[in-house]
Amino acid sequence: MHDVRELIELGPEAVRRLARRRYRLDLEVLGAAHRRRGEGLEAVAALRGELKRASRGPRPTEEGREELRRLRERVQQAEAAVRAAELELEEALLGIPNLPLDAVPDGDSEKEAVEVRRGGPPPRPAAGAARHHADLGESLGVLDATRAAALSGARFSVSRGPGARLERALASFLLDLHTEEHGYTEYAVPHLVNRETMTGTGQLPKFQEELFATAVGGRELFLIPTAEVPLTNLVAGELLDTRALPIAMTARTPCYRAEAGSYGRDTRGVLRLHQFEKVELVRICVLDDAPAQLELMVGQVEECLRRLELAYRVVLLPAGDMGFSARMTYDIEVWLPGSDSYREISSVSDCGAFQARRAGIRHRTAEGRKLPAATLNGSALPIGRTVAALLEQGVQPDGSVLLPEALVPYTGFRRILPGGAVER
């Protein structure tokens, strides 16, 4: 969420920057709401002062008691007006996306993303003809789309045998890498969170249609779309010591997404599911350090892909294609020979102070100043998409799939054979 005073002070500059996200900021409406709140607070302060002075007088007469009663009513009415003005202002601010940084390119879609670099082996089929991971998964006996659909309908997946073992191995490999080498603390967090938690990271109120919700016994809870939500909110409302920053957190969780508006896209395989697992990274730091922390996190995602021997590229997203809370985002895209294209496997975002203001995350400097922190988040990595890349890039001429050396200590095998057998 924005500081309304900063938006008003930026004026036309804020309008220009938000227009790059195809968002029209109405400064007049925002300014009027801000003034109503300020005038209301002044009125409340004046009435409270008048009431205080009147209460300190001699023992009141009947007429004096009536005047005190009227003053109290006026104070209550003024306070109600302030609450209404604050609610109006908060609702307006909650719907305004983050301001993109000037380094972010213009554009509205992935077509305008700017390629930064490529990494890993050359982007080509591992051997023989390229095959889609859905076909490979079926021939290997590790993915079962038919039974998944029978259980839950479209956009769900079932893994079996070596496929399920591979998913478990990937999660353990990634968590070990991030905790033992990258300095993250691992958390096990709830998969159901309340409305306040979802609002803190920007999923609500704007994206309610994208979320799965449940209400049992009158209690409203939301299934998390990413571990970013509970991880970031672990320090919601806290005043952190600047010397303790940055904070680095990671978790493996299922993620639940309605994927509203994406029907007809990626209907085969595991690229766009309603439920998938992911290892998430979250960092909390001082605002000035956020750009350096963003580059660090991108490098950590790249290290995952290098060790998994996967071809990838890094792109800088345009302003109109970033997430609501981000001010700058890098997508890391993995090469999928089966579709002859690079596809997103991770997004790493610098959210500046946007989420911290919404969630009340601040830090106290050595001089005693209380400032909003900065938050960053990134996928490192989603399990299903990584499996898809391993299958498509690792397929051999005989239809088997060769896995990277880094995973062998976790899987116990190096090769998956057609039919579901393994070779150690």
Residue 101 phi/psi, 5° resolution?
-70, 155
And the tokens for 139? 């021939």
And the tokens for 347? 């997004």
Q: Which of 385, 392, 400, 415 is catalytic?
A: 385
Task: Give the E-state strand segments of 110-246 in sequence order.
Answer: 114-119, 185-186, 192-193, 213-216, 219-223, 239-241
Distance of CA 34 to the CA centre of its chain: 29
Of all helices (H) and strands (E), which one includes residue 277? strand 275-285
**C-alpha distances in Å from residue 181, one per residue of 112, 185, 251, 303:** 34, 11, 15, 11
Q: Which of 20, 131, 257, 327 is catalytic?
A: 257
Q: Which residue has the tokens 């680095």?
A: 248
CA 93 to CA 26: how far, in whole Å?
Answer: 11
Q: Which of 36, 272, 306, 364 is catalytic?
A: 272
Cα angle: 302, vertex 303, 309; to 5 degrees: 90
385 is catalytic: yes
Within 13 Å of residue 156, how many CA atoms lie on the same side as its CB? 11
Q: Which residues contact 326 (CB under 8 A, 6 or more apart)?
A: 98, 349, 350, 351
And the tokens for 171? 């999660």
257 is catalytic: yes
And the tokens for 87? 């609610």
70 is catalytic: no
Position 4: which residue type? V
Beta partners for 208? none
Q: Which of 347, 349, 379, 400 is catalytic?
A: 347
Task: Give the E-state strand segments of 369-420 in sequence order.
Answer: 370-372, 374-382, 401-402, 415-416
3-state secondary structure of 248: strand
272 is catalytic: yes
243 is catalytic: no
The set of long-range contacts for 26-35, using a CB threshold of 8 Å and a minimum separation of 24, is 29/92, 30/4, 30/89, 30/92, 33/4, 33/85, 33/88, 33/89, 33/92, 34/4, 34/5, 34/8, 34/89
Q: Which of 79, 138, 344, 357 is catalytic?
A: 344
Q: Which residues contact 74 (CB under 8 A, 6 or more apart)?
A: 47
- Nearest residue to 342 (alpha-carbon basis) of 122, 104, 71: 122
Orientation of helix 133-140 relative to helix 383-394, angle to 10° = 80
Catalytic residue IDs:
257, 272, 344, 347, 385
